[in-house]
Amino acid sequence: MHTDINALFAALWQDYIQMTPSAAKVHALLGHGKPIINDHIALRTFNIAKVNLDVLAKHFTSLGYVACGDYKFEQKKLIAKHFEHPDSTQPKVFISELLVEEFSPALQETIQGLIAQVDVAATTADNFIYSGRHWSLDSKTYQDLLTESEYAAWVAAFGYRANHFTVSINHLDGFETLESVNDALKQAGFVLNGSGGEIKGSPEVLLEQSSTMADKIGLEFTDATVEIPSCFYEFALRYPMANGELYTGFVAASADKIFESTNVNKA
Protein backbone atom coordinates (compact mmCIF):
# COMPACT_ATOMS: atom_id res chain seq x y z
CA MET A 1 0.00 0.00 0.00
CA HIS A 2 1.09 3.57 -0.63
CA THR A 3 2.94 5.39 2.14
CA ASP A 4 2.52 8.80 0.47
CA ILE A 5 -1.00 10.17 0.21
CA ASN A 6 -0.11 12.65 -2.55
CA ALA A 7 1.48 9.91 -4.66
CA LEU A 8 -1.66 7.82 -4.28
CA PHE A 9 -3.97 10.59 -5.49
CA ALA A 10 -1.58 11.55 -8.28
CA ALA A 11 -1.70 7.96 -9.56
CA LEU A 12 -5.49 7.81 -9.22
CA TRP A 13 -5.72 11.09 -11.15
CA GLN A 14 -3.47 9.90 -14.00
CA ASP A 15 -5.59 6.77 -14.43
CA TYR A 16 -8.80 8.82 -14.20
CA ILE A 17 -7.88 11.29 -16.94
CA GLN A 18 -7.09 8.40 -19.30
CA MET A 19 -10.62 7.11 -18.73
CA THR A 20 -12.12 10.62 -18.73
CA PRO A 21 -10.59 12.67 -21.56
CA SER A 22 -12.88 15.62 -20.76
CA ALA A 23 -11.45 15.99 -17.23
CA ALA A 24 -8.41 17.93 -18.41
CA LYS A 25 -10.72 20.31 -20.32
CA VAL A 26 -12.83 20.84 -17.20
CA HIS A 27 -9.64 21.59 -15.26
CA ALA A 28 -8.55 24.15 -17.83
CA LEU A 29 -11.99 25.77 -17.88
CA LEU A 30 -12.43 26.08 -14.11
CA GLY A 31 -8.89 26.21 -12.77
CA HIS A 32 -7.41 28.83 -15.11
CA GLY A 33 -4.05 27.09 -14.77
CA LYS A 34 -4.14 26.91 -10.97
CA PRO A 35 -4.31 23.69 -8.94
CA ILE A 36 -7.84 22.50 -8.16
CA ILE A 37 -8.75 21.19 -4.71
CA ASN A 38 -10.80 18.02 -4.96
CA ASP A 39 -13.69 17.63 -2.54
CA HIS A 40 -13.81 13.83 -2.82
CA ILE A 41 -13.23 10.84 -5.03
CA ALA A 42 -15.50 7.83 -5.33
CA LEU A 43 -14.75 4.13 -5.71
CA ARG A 44 -17.12 1.26 -6.49
CA THR A 45 -16.90 -2.43 -5.57
CA PHE A 46 -18.88 -5.56 -4.62
CA ASN A 47 -19.59 -6.80 -1.08
CA ILE A 48 -17.55 -9.96 -1.67
CA ALA A 49 -14.96 -10.52 1.07
CA LYS A 50 -11.93 -10.49 -1.24
CA VAL A 51 -12.69 -7.03 -2.68
CA ASN A 52 -15.27 -5.47 -0.39
CA LEU A 53 -15.52 -1.91 0.87
CA ASP A 54 -13.20 -2.62 3.81
CA VAL A 55 -10.49 -3.98 1.49
CA LEU A 56 -10.54 -0.76 -0.55
CA ALA A 57 -10.75 1.40 2.59
CA LYS A 58 -7.49 0.00 3.99
CA HIS A 59 -5.62 1.80 1.21
CA PHE A 60 -6.81 5.05 2.82
CA THR A 61 -7.06 4.21 6.53
CA SER A 62 -3.39 3.18 6.39
CA LEU A 63 -2.70 6.83 5.43
CA GLY A 64 -4.66 8.35 8.31
CA TYR A 65 -8.20 8.40 6.89
CA VAL A 66 -11.08 7.67 9.27
CA ALA A 67 -14.61 6.43 8.56
CA CYS A 68 -17.12 9.27 9.07
CA GLY A 69 -20.49 8.32 7.61
CA ASP A 70 -22.64 5.38 6.49
CA TYR A 71 -25.16 5.45 3.65
CA LYS A 72 -27.73 3.07 2.21
CA PHE A 73 -29.24 3.12 -1.29
CA GLU A 74 -32.30 0.88 -1.22
CA GLN A 75 -33.24 1.03 -4.90
CA LYS A 76 -29.73 0.52 -6.23
CA LYS A 77 -28.99 -2.13 -3.55
CA LEU A 78 -25.82 -0.43 -2.36
CA ILE A 79 -24.24 0.65 0.87
CA ALA A 80 -21.44 3.18 1.20
CA LYS A 81 -19.10 4.87 3.66
CA HIS A 82 -17.15 8.06 3.45
CA PHE A 83 -13.70 8.66 4.91
CA GLU A 84 -11.93 11.87 5.86
CA HIS A 85 -8.29 12.81 6.43
CA PRO A 86 -7.17 15.09 9.30
CA ASP A 87 -5.82 17.44 6.59
CA SER A 88 -9.07 18.84 5.19
CA THR A 89 -7.44 19.79 1.87
CA GLN A 90 -7.00 16.08 1.13
CA PRO A 91 -9.98 14.68 -0.77
CA LYS A 92 -12.64 12.83 1.14
CA VAL A 93 -13.13 9.26 -0.09
CA PHE A 94 -16.58 7.81 -0.83
CA ILE A 95 -16.59 4.01 -1.24
CA SER A 96 -19.72 2.08 -2.18
CA GLU A 97 -20.35 -1.65 -2.56
CA LEU A 98 -23.08 -3.59 -4.33
CA LEU A 99 -25.12 -6.00 -2.18
CA VAL A 100 -24.61 -8.85 -4.63
CA GLU A 101 -26.86 -11.33 -2.79
CA GLU A 102 -29.89 -9.08 -3.40
CA PHE A 103 -29.72 -9.71 -7.17
CA SER A 104 -30.67 -12.62 -9.43
CA PRO A 105 -28.78 -15.91 -9.22
CA ALA A 106 -27.40 -15.20 -12.71
CA LEU A 107 -25.88 -11.88 -11.67
CA GLN A 108 -24.52 -13.36 -8.45
CA GLU A 109 -22.88 -16.20 -10.35
CA THR A 110 -21.36 -13.82 -12.91
CA ILE A 111 -19.89 -11.48 -10.28
CA GLN A 112 -18.58 -14.36 -8.14
CA GLY A 113 -16.92 -15.73 -11.29
CA LEU A 114 -15.22 -12.40 -12.01
CA ILE A 115 -13.97 -11.91 -8.46
CA ALA A 116 -12.68 -15.50 -8.35
CA GLN A 117 -10.12 -14.37 -10.98
CA VAL A 118 -8.68 -11.69 -8.66
CA ASP A 119 -5.37 -12.58 -7.04
CA VAL A 120 -5.70 -11.85 -3.30
CA ALA A 121 -2.16 -10.42 -3.28
CA ALA A 122 -3.23 -7.82 -5.86
CA THR A 123 -5.76 -6.32 -3.44
CA THR A 124 -3.05 -5.02 -1.09
CA ALA A 125 -0.63 -3.88 -3.82
CA ASP A 126 0.12 -0.15 -4.04
CA ASN A 127 -1.77 0.19 -7.30
CA PHE A 128 -4.90 -1.86 -6.54
CA ILE A 129 -7.37 1.03 -6.41
CA TYR A 130 -6.26 2.27 -9.83
CA SER A 131 -5.44 -1.11 -11.39
CA GLY A 132 -8.57 -1.55 -13.48
CA ARG A 133 -10.04 -4.91 -14.39
CA HIS A 134 -8.62 -8.14 -12.98
CA TRP A 135 -10.79 -10.53 -14.99
CA SER A 136 -11.71 -11.35 -18.55
CA LEU A 137 -15.09 -10.04 -19.69
CA ASP A 138 -16.98 -10.30 -22.95
CA SER A 139 -19.41 -7.69 -24.22
CA LYS A 140 -22.48 -9.96 -23.86
CA THR A 141 -21.78 -10.47 -20.14
CA TYR A 142 -21.46 -6.71 -19.76
CA GLN A 143 -24.82 -6.20 -21.51
CA ASP A 144 -26.46 -8.90 -19.38
CA LEU A 145 -25.25 -7.21 -16.19
CA LEU A 146 -26.45 -3.86 -17.53
CA THR A 147 -30.04 -5.07 -17.80
CA GLU A 148 -30.06 -5.70 -14.05
CA SER A 149 -27.62 -3.21 -12.53
CA GLU A 150 -25.80 -0.35 -14.22
CA TYR A 151 -23.46 -0.29 -11.22
CA ALA A 152 -22.56 -3.99 -11.54
CA ALA A 153 -21.90 -3.56 -15.25
CA TRP A 154 -19.68 -0.52 -14.64
CA VAL A 155 -17.52 -2.27 -12.04
CA ALA A 156 -17.29 -5.38 -14.22
CA ALA A 157 -16.17 -3.24 -17.18
CA PHE A 158 -13.79 -0.83 -15.44
CA GLY A 159 -12.65 -2.64 -12.32
CA TYR A 160 -10.79 -0.68 -9.68
CA ARG A 161 -10.28 3.02 -10.36
CA ALA A 162 -11.82 6.36 -9.42
CA ASN A 163 -15.40 6.51 -10.69
CA HIS A 164 -15.18 10.28 -10.36
CA PHE A 165 -13.20 13.16 -8.92
CA THR A 166 -15.05 16.17 -7.51
CA VAL A 167 -14.07 19.84 -7.74
CA SER A 168 -14.49 21.69 -4.44
CA ILE A 169 -16.33 24.89 -5.41
CA ASN A 170 -15.53 26.26 -1.92
CA HIS A 171 -11.84 26.31 -2.91
CA LEU A 172 -12.34 27.45 -6.52
CA ASP A 173 -11.34 30.98 -7.53
CA GLY A 174 -13.71 32.93 -9.74
CA PHE A 175 -16.90 30.97 -8.97
CA GLU A 176 -19.18 31.68 -6.02
CA THR A 177 -22.12 29.41 -6.86
CA LEU A 178 -22.72 26.00 -8.35
CA GLU A 179 -25.05 27.60 -10.92
CA SER A 180 -22.18 29.70 -12.25
CA VAL A 181 -20.01 26.58 -12.59
CA ASN A 182 -22.81 24.70 -14.36
CA ASP A 183 -23.38 27.62 -16.72
CA ALA A 184 -19.67 27.78 -17.63
CA LEU A 185 -19.65 24.02 -18.27
CA LYS A 186 -22.76 24.10 -20.46
CA GLN A 187 -21.48 27.07 -22.46
CA ALA A 188 -18.33 25.03 -23.12
CA GLY A 189 -20.44 22.16 -24.45
CA PHE A 190 -20.45 19.77 -21.50
CA VAL A 191 -23.59 17.72 -20.87
CA LEU A 192 -24.69 17.74 -17.23
CA ASN A 193 -26.53 15.02 -15.33
CA GLY A 194 -30.13 16.23 -15.14
CA SER A 195 -31.44 13.36 -12.98
CA GLY A 196 -33.24 15.00 -10.04
CA GLY A 197 -32.37 18.42 -11.49
CA GLU A 198 -28.97 19.72 -12.51
CA ILE A 199 -28.25 20.71 -8.90
CA LYS A 200 -28.82 17.97 -6.35
CA GLY A 201 -29.22 19.07 -2.74
CA SER A 202 -29.65 22.57 -1.33
CA PRO A 203 -28.30 24.97 1.30
CA GLU A 204 -30.82 23.40 3.71
CA VAL A 205 -29.05 20.02 3.53
CA LEU A 206 -25.67 21.86 3.56
CA LEU A 207 -24.48 20.38 0.26
CA GLU A 208 -25.12 21.10 -3.41
CA GLN A 209 -23.75 18.79 -6.12
CA SER A 210 -23.77 18.59 -9.90
CA SER A 211 -21.88 16.46 -12.40
CA THR A 212 -21.10 15.95 -16.05
CA MET A 213 -22.42 12.86 -17.78
CA ALA A 214 -19.70 10.25 -18.11
CA ASP A 215 -17.38 10.34 -21.10
CA LYS A 216 -17.90 7.55 -23.62
CA ILE A 217 -14.76 5.62 -24.49
CA GLY A 218 -14.02 2.55 -26.57
CA LEU A 219 -13.46 -0.25 -24.05
CA GLU A 220 -11.89 -3.55 -25.00
CA PHE A 221 -13.79 -6.70 -24.13
CA THR A 222 -12.54 -10.18 -25.01
CA ASP A 223 -14.74 -10.25 -28.13
CA ALA A 224 -15.12 -6.60 -29.18
CA THR A 225 -14.35 -2.98 -28.47
CA VAL A 226 -17.52 -1.19 -27.42
CA GLU A 227 -18.14 2.49 -26.71
CA ILE A 228 -19.57 2.76 -23.20
CA PRO A 229 -19.79 5.43 -20.45
CA SER A 230 -16.61 5.58 -18.35
CA CYS A 231 -16.11 8.19 -15.63
CA PHE A 232 -17.44 11.65 -14.91
CA TYR A 233 -16.55 14.85 -13.07
CA GLU A 234 -18.54 16.11 -10.11
CA PHE A 235 -18.77 19.55 -8.49
CA ALA A 236 -19.62 20.16 -4.83
CA LEU A 237 -20.43 23.27 -2.82
CA ARG A 238 -20.59 22.85 0.96
CA TYR A 239 -22.34 25.10 3.45
CA PRO A 240 -21.41 25.89 7.06
CA MET A 241 -23.07 24.06 9.93
CA ALA A 242 -24.35 25.84 13.06
CA ASN A 243 -20.81 25.80 14.50
CA GLY A 244 -19.49 27.67 11.47
CA GLU A 245 -17.53 24.71 10.08
CA LEU A 246 -18.29 23.38 6.60
CA TYR A 247 -20.46 20.27 6.47
CA THR A 248 -18.27 17.33 5.45
CA GLY A 249 -20.82 14.53 4.99
CA PHE A 250 -22.90 13.38 2.04
CA VAL A 251 -26.62 13.40 1.27
CA ALA A 252 -27.87 9.97 0.22
CA ALA A 253 -30.76 11.30 -1.90
CA SER A 254 -28.34 13.45 -3.90
CA ALA A 255 -25.67 10.75 -4.20
CA ASP A 256 -28.36 8.41 -5.54
CA LYS A 257 -28.86 10.75 -8.51
CA ILE A 258 -25.11 11.35 -8.98
CA PHE A 259 -24.70 7.57 -9.48
CA GLU A 260 -26.77 7.99 -12.66
CA SER A 261 -23.99 10.01 -14.31
CA THR A 262 -22.68 6.73 -15.76
CA ASN A 263 -26.06 5.52 -17.06
CA VAL A 264 -25.90 4.24 -20.62
CA ASN A 265 -29.36 5.39 -21.65
CA LYS A 266 -28.88 8.99 -20.52
CA ALA A 267 -27.56 11.79 -22.73
- The b-or-e profile of 151-163 (16+ CB within 10 A means b, else e) is bbbbbbbbbbbbb
Residue 262 CB partners (closer than 8 Å, separation 6+): 150, 154, 163, 214, 229, 230, 231, 232
Taking 60 as the threshold, does the pLDDT of residue 89 lie above it?
yes
pLDDT computed for residue 170 by the predictor? 95
**Could you tell me what percent of the chain has a pLDDT over 70?**
99
**Could you tell me what percent of the chain has a pLDDT over 90?**
90
> pLDDT tens digits for 113-147?
999 999 999 999 999 999 999 999 999 999 999 99
pLDDT computed for residue 267 by the predictor? 41
- Residue 118 CA to residue 181 CA, distance in Å, equals 40
Taking 50 as the threshold, does the pLDDT of residue 192 lie above it?
yes
- The b-or-e profile of 55-79 (16+ CB within 10 A means b, else e) is bbbebbeebebebeeebebeebbbb
Residue 9 CB partners (closer than 8 Å, separation 6+): 38, 41, 90, 91
> pLDDT tens digits for 213-238?
999 999 999 999 999 999 999 999 99
Enter the pTM of the model: 0.95
- Residue 136 CA to residue 26 CA, distance in Å, equals 32
Cα–Cα distance list, 158 to 57, 240, 267 (Å): 18, 36, 20
Taking the CB of residue 54, how many other CB atoms lie within 10 A of it?
15
Taking 70 as the threshold, does the pLDDT of residue 156 lie above it?
yes
- Residue 118 CA to residue 135 CA, distance in Å, equals 7
pLDDT computed for residue 253 by the predictor? 85
pLDDT computed for residue 266 by the predictor? 47
Q: Residue 23: which of 6, 116, 12 has the closest Cα? A: 12
Q: Residue 93: which of 66, 125, 128 has the closest Cα? A: 66
Cα–Cα distance list, 102 to 74, 140, 252 (Å): 10, 22, 19
